[in-house]
Amino acid sequence: MQESNLPAQHQLLDLENPLPSWNLKKKITGKKLMITKEADTFMRGLNLYEKTKVYNEVLKLASEGGYGRFSKGFRKDPMFMREKKCSGGISFMYNVNPEMIVINRMKLELEPTSLATPVNKQQMGLFEVKRKSGVRWHEGSTKADIEELENAWGTPEPISTIKTEHVAINGMSNDLEKASWLMGVHMDTAYWGDNAKAYTLVYNPTRGKLDIFECIQDRVSTSKLAELLAIMLIESQQNGVNRKWTAHSQGGIIMTRAVELVNMRGIKLEGQRVSIHAGGNYKTRAENAFTKAGMIIDEIRRDHPDDFVPHLLGFNDLSPGSFIRGIRSMKLVTGDKRPVEVSPHTLPYLGRETAIRHLQMNGYHKKAERLAELTMKEFDLL
């Protein structure tokens, strides 16, 4: 729609649903939804989740007659400018008349998240991370190799569109710096033969004790991060791009819920591949969701026998033996001073022989003996 008497940046375009198959809502009023060229240019730089959030907010305005009970400026003058804030740190200025709602300008309310952003202010989003060195996590990794793992992956760069074959979603208690290198290791282990040079991190920011609430939320409802991940899955499928998705810990719960959301829309994810390490998700529920979507499950049971996250918190093994092992090893998961390689949860599980070796190397001899005894008992039962 062109308005010849307006400057080019103020000329109007139709505001269209950025992902019609995801959001099937219809306008409740008959008002047209419009956007200026200036605002449309800004919106094109957002990721698909953010675009969908903006569109949903405009739909809410339409359902309220266009004036918005919670927008700044409740006056009903036809051309009175109003402001609306969306979840995710985006706001837009708009006006309304009897025929249309027009978005005039948009802006970011929050600074883009980076390594310099305080942990408690980091926001979820997409980041591309590139490999810096050839150091990899494997059965023969030495202590020197392990110390270099944190430097094997570079600075995460915020992006609006996924361009890499590999995508990863981190677990709880990870700031952006830790999530960037740790999920590089998990992705690299899950798809070892690819020797990927870059991947996209769907960043799950930590909120301390609220991380536990988020886990519960995705078990019984839906978190914003699950919504984001679901839209990224749909976008990949609609663009005909088959990707390999790796999730760790809480990331397994988020991935499960995201795929369930996709299934609710009747959309298939055939060709998409998924690997989950030490997931806090209930495995049967995850397998059902992935199978229904048509995804290829590459890994879902890469779990250390002493890791309480998948076994106890994921409700996958509530036996007395699992409970005892999980409690005994809890400090190796949550402790701040323990070497990362002795944790049964942090790095990808490479097998009992490797786990026993690292426990012995770091002086955890009793724990190494218990793991060896468990291995022998299970071997005798075969």
Tens of pLDDT, residue by residue over 226-275, are: 999 999 999 999 999 999 999 999 999 999 999 999 999 999 999 999 99
Task: Categorize the per-residue pLDDT at 377 as very low, low, confident or very high, splitting at 50, 70 and 90.
Answer: confident
The answer to whether residues 239 and 287 belong to one domain is yes
- Domain boundary, last residue among 268, 302, 336: 302
Task: Categorize the per-residue pLDDT at 298 as very low, low, confident or very high, splitting at 50, 70 and 90.
Answer: very high
- The pair of structure tokens assigned to 376 is 């022998």
Answer whether residue 1 is part of any domain.
Answer: no
The answer to whether residues 13 and 99 belong to one domain is yes
The answer to whether residues 248 and 369 belong to one domain is no
CA distances from 136 to 21, 103, 183, 333 (A): 40, 49, 12, 21
The answer to whether residues 292 and 326 belong to one domain is no
Condensed to tens digits (0 to 9), the pLDDT of residues 178-214 reads: 999 999 999 999 999 999 999 999 999 998 888 888 9
Return the pLDDT at 10.
67
The answer to whether residues 274 and 138 belong to one domain is yes
What are the backbone dihedrals phi and psi of residue 16, each rounded to the nearest 5 degrees, phi first?
A: -105, 155
Domain that holds residue 218: 119-302
Q: Give me the CATH number covering residue 253.
A: 3.40.50
The answer to whether residues 335 and 229 belong to one domain is no
SS3 127: strand
Task: Categorize the per-residue pLDDT at 63 as very low, low, confident or very high, splitting at 50, 70 and 90.
Answer: confident
The answer to whether residues 256 and 325 belong to one domain is no
How many structural domains are present in the chain?
Answer: 3
- Could you give the angle at which helices 320-328 and 365-381 cross, rounded to 10 degrees? 160
Answer whether residue 315 is part of any domain.
Answer: no
Condensed to tens digits (0 to 9), the pLDDT of residues 314-357 reads: 999 999 999 999 999 999 998 878 899 999 999 999 999 999 99
Q: What is the DSSP letter of 119?
A: G
Q: Give me the CATH number covering residue 84.
A: 3.30.2310
Please determine, for residue 27, whether its predicted confidence score (pLDDT) is greater than 80: no
Contacts of 316 (CB under 8 A, 6+ apart): 282, 283, 303, 310
- The pair of structure tokens assigned to 219 is 């078990």
The answer to whether residues 259 and 340 belong to one domain is no
Return the pLDDT at 225.
95
Query: How far from the centroid of its chain's Cα atoms is residue 6's Cα?
Result: 42
Answer whether residue 309 is part of any domain.
Answer: no
The answer to whether residues 267 and 326 belong to one domain is no
Can you point out the beta strands (E) in the chain? 12-14, 32-36, 82-86, 90-96, 100-108, 125-130, 157-159, 166-169, 198-203, 244-248, 273-277, 296-302
